[in-house]
Amino acid sequence: MGYEDQPKRVSTTENEKDIHTDFTNNMTYGEYLQLDKILSGQNRLSDHHDEMLFIIIHQVSELWMKLILHEMTAAIESIEKGEMQTSFKQLARVSKTQAQIIQAWDVLSTLTPSEYMEFRDSLGQASGFQSFQYRLIEFALGYKTLHVLKIYEKDVELHRQLQDAFKSPGLYDVAIRALAKAGLTINPDVVDRDYTIPYEQDQSVKEAWLKVYQNVDQYWDLYQLAEKLVDIEDWLQQWRFRHMKTVERIIGFKMGTGGSSGVNYLKKVLDQRFFPELWDIRTEL
According to the annotation, is 58 in a ligand binding site?
Answer: yes
Q: For the stretch 47-62, what's the b/e string if a residue is b when 16 or more beta carbons lie within 10 angstroms of its beta carbon?
A: ebebbebbbebeeebe
Q: Where are the alpha helices (DSSP H) in the chain?
A: 12-15, 29-33, 35-38, 51-81, 84-108, 113-117, 132-140, 156-167, 171-181, 188-191, 203-214, 220-251, 263-269, 276-284
According to the annotation, is 56 in a ligand binding site?
Answer: yes
Q: Where does residue 124 fall: left (phi above 0), alpha (psi -120 to 50 degrees), or beta otherwise?
A: left
Residue 112 to residues 78, 121, 135, 173, 239, Cα–Cα distance (Å): 44, 15, 28, 42, 20
What is the C-alpha to C-alpha distance for residues 114 and 125, in angstroms, rounded to an integer?
Answer: 20
- C-alpha atoms less than 13 angstroms from C-alpha of 170 in its C-beta half-sphere: 23
According to the annotation, is 21 in a ligand binding site?
Answer: no
Whether 97 and 231 have beta carbons less than 8 Å apart is answered as no
According to the annotation, is 57 in a ligand binding site?
Answer: yes
What secondary structure does DSSP assign to 5-42, as a single string?
A: GSPPP--HHHH-TT-----SSS--HHHHHTHHHHTT--
According to the annotation, is 243 in a ligand binding site?
Answer: yes
According to the annotation, is 120 in a ligand binding site?
Answer: yes
What is the C-alpha to C-alpha distance for residues 253 and 260, in angstroms, rounded to an integer?
Answer: 11
Known binding residues for heme are 243
Residues within the annotated binding site? 54-58, 116, 120, 243, 257
Q: Residue positions in the annotated binding site for substrate?
A: 54-58, 116, 120, 257
